Amino acid sequence: MIVNNLQLPYYAVIFTTVVSENLEDYEKTARKMATLATQQKGFLGMDSARNEIGITVSYWKTLDDITAWKNNAEHTLARNLGREKWYKNYQLRICKVEREYGFLK
């Protein structure tokens, strides 16, 4: 299900990745980080998809909430493992969402 009905404005963190061949413990850690993110102040939801390129978008109330998540000790360890072994490439973008629209059948 796509996250919707968020109260504007909010922030989106767009994390785009290309994985390496060494994915030992990757799925386990990704699930743990997704669960941990839901427990953070200001977390609003998350959408994710993976094919050749993985895209995870997490939604947050404030920039301070995003910074607190970035500085979370367990998240920092996971980020370091990502750089060291799981990702060939990644890009992170932070956007303020001021308008949205869509539909649901």
Domain of 61 in residue numbering reads as 10-97
Cβ atoms 97, 12 nearer than 8 A: yes
Answering whether pTM is above 0.85, one says yes
Q: Is residue 104 part of a domain?
A: no
Q: Residues 8-25: pLDDT tens digits?
A: 999 999 999 999 999 999
Q: Is residue 4 part of a domain?
A: no
DSSP 90: E
Give the Cα separation of 51 and 71 in Å (integer).
Answer: 28
Q: Is residue 105 part of a domain?
A: no
DSSP 96: E
Q: Is residue 30 part of a domain?
A: yes
Burial of 81 (0-12, 13-18, 19+ CB in 10 A): middle
Q: Chain centroid to CA 55: how far?
A: 8
CATH code of residue 83: 3.30.70.100
Q: What's the confidence (pLDDT) of residue 18?
A: 97
Q: Is residue 103 part of a domain?
A: no
